[in-house]
């Protein structure tokens, strides 16, 4: 088994739709992503101490390190991203089909509660959460006054809390179970638009090929939702669904930059009300470029293209969207 130190940054892209007429608000668009707090707890830092020129010896280089006495850890991060979205409300034409920029500020924390050695695996429980502001703006786009009004009405804050249990095996496979609570609130009137309890089981395996790292994962998610009855859906639980998703990610270091293209496919099956017969396949192709300036400060660039192919519902839930943005990340680990 070879081990590469790499930075794994996970961008959370939430795409929401709102109609001023009858179609309501689309709060279920996009990928089901793992909680950002879990991502910062499990990301691996890039080697920053010039170990590329290793002098070898039979017994190896013996460099002293300082270790924590217990298994408790704390991780904090602040992200600020500005992203151009050509279809921020996830629609297929119509009056909401216009571009926007989204400015996201996210405060994330997570805590590792211990390290449990099971012999052939290591268990690590985590708890954490995040609070994110999402403001639609007219940066990068030419918006009409009406469209700017939509930006204001659609900006939202989201809150996440999670508990997770990770199990890492020596053969490279890891398994996790996560219970995540997400709440979305519109900033214009502080109304709660969505509550979503997501239950996730995920398997992940990483491989090393040459100087690249390849990460494969597969997950099963159940969403138990409570949504705004004035929106797209008549019933508060019409966004209840399960997802089956799988992704393949390549991470490669080129100089000081990590380049990570990723492809995700997600199948969703809805359960209730008007969405009873609805199923969809979502394809997402994303690229992340990450430049680690210091151990705690990263610059990143993200771009993604999403295609949603839906069937079985009264509304046209197909959409395509393109996103591109950049941001900074400050992080600390204790």
Applying CB under 8 A, the residues found at the interface with other proteins are 1, 3, 5, 44, 49, 51, 54-68, 71, 73, 112, 115, 117, 120-122, 124, 168-172
Comparing CA positions, the residue from 77, 74, 81 lying closest to residue 12 is 81
Q: Taking a C-beta distance cutoff of 8 angstroms, is the pair 277, 260 a contact?
A: no
Q: Which of 70, 145 has the CB closer to other proteins?
A: 70
The three-state secondary structure class of 164 is: strand
Kindly state the tokens that stand for 193: 């638009």
Phi, psi of 49 (to 5 degrees): -115, 30
For residue 49, the minimal CB distance to other proteins (Å) is 7
Residue 43 vs 315, nearer CB to other proteins: 43
Q: How far is the CB of 81 from other proteins (least distance, A)?
A: 27
Instruction: Quote the least distance from Cβ 169 to other proteins, whole Å.
Output: 7
The dihedral region occupied by 94, where left means phi > 0, alpha psi between -120 and 50, and beta the remainder, is left
Q: Of 22 and 59, which has the nearer Cβ to other proteins?
A: 59
Q: Where do the DSSP E strands lie in 138-240?
A: 156-169, 173-186, 192-209, 212-227
Distance CA(38)–CA(172), nearest Å, equals 18
Output 26 or 202, the one with its CB closest to other proteins. Answer: 202
Buried b vs exposed e over 179-197: b needs ≥16 C-beta within 10 Å? ebebbbbbeeeeeebbbbe
* C-alpha gyration radius of the chain: 21
Using the minimum distance from each CB to other proteins, give the nearer residue, 71 or 261. 71
As measured in angstroms, the least distance from the Cβ of 124 to other proteins is 7
- CB of 232 closer than 8 Å to CB of 26: yes
Q: How far is the CB of 236 from other proteins (least distance, A)?
A: 41
| Closer by beta carbon to other proteins, 169 or else 322 | 169
Phi, psi angles (nearest 5°) of residue 94: 100, -175
Least Å distance, CB 206 to other proteins, is 11
C-alpha 87/C-alpha 180 separation (Å) is: 27
Q: Which is nearer to other proteins, 115 or 257 (CB)?
A: 115
24/230 Cα distance (integer angstroms): 7
Would you call 159 helix, strand, or coil by DSSP? Answer: strand
């Amino acid at each position: 088994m070879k081990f590469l130190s790499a930075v794994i940054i996970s961008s959370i892209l939430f795409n929401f739709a709102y109609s001023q007429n009858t179609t309501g608000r689309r709060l279920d668009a996009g990928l089901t992503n793992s909680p950002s707090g879990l991502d910062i707890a499990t990301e691996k830092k890039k080697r920053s101490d010039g170990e590329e020129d290793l002098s070898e010896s039979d017994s190896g280089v013996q460099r002293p390190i300082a270790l924590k006495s217990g298994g408790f850890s704390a991780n904090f991060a602040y992200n600020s991203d500005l992203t151009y979205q050509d279809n921020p409300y996830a629609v297929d034409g119509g009056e909401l089909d216009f571009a926007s920029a989204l400015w996201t500020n996210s405060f994330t924390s997570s805590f590792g509660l211990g390290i449990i050695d099971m012999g052939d695996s290591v268990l690590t429980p985590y708890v954490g959460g995040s609070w994110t502001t999402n403001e639609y703006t007219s940066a990068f786009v030419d918006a009409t006054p009406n469209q700017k009004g939509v930006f204001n009405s659609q900006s939202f804050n989201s809150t996440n809390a999670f508990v997770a249990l990770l199990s890492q095996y020596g053969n490279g496979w890891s398994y996790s179970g996560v219970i995540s609570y997400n709440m979305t609130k519109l900033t214009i009137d502080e109304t709660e638009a969505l509550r979503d309890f997501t239950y996730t089981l995920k398997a992940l395996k990483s491989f090393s090929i040459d100087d690249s790292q390849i990460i494969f994962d597969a997950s099963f998610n159940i969403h138990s939702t409570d949504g705004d009855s004035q929106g797209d859906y008549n019933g508060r639980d019409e966004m209840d669904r399960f997802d089956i998703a799988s992704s393949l990610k390549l991470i490669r270091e080129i100089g000081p930059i990590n380049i990570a293209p990723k492809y995700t496919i997600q199948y969703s099956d809805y359960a209730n009300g008007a969405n009873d017969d609805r199923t969809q396949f979502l394809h997402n192709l994303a690229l992340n470029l990450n430049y680690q300036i210091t151990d705690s400060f990263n610059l990143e660039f993200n771009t993604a293209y999403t295609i949603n192919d839906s069937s079985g519902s009264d509304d046209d839930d197909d959409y395509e969207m393109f996103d591109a943005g950049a941001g900074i990340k400050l992080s600390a680990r204790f």
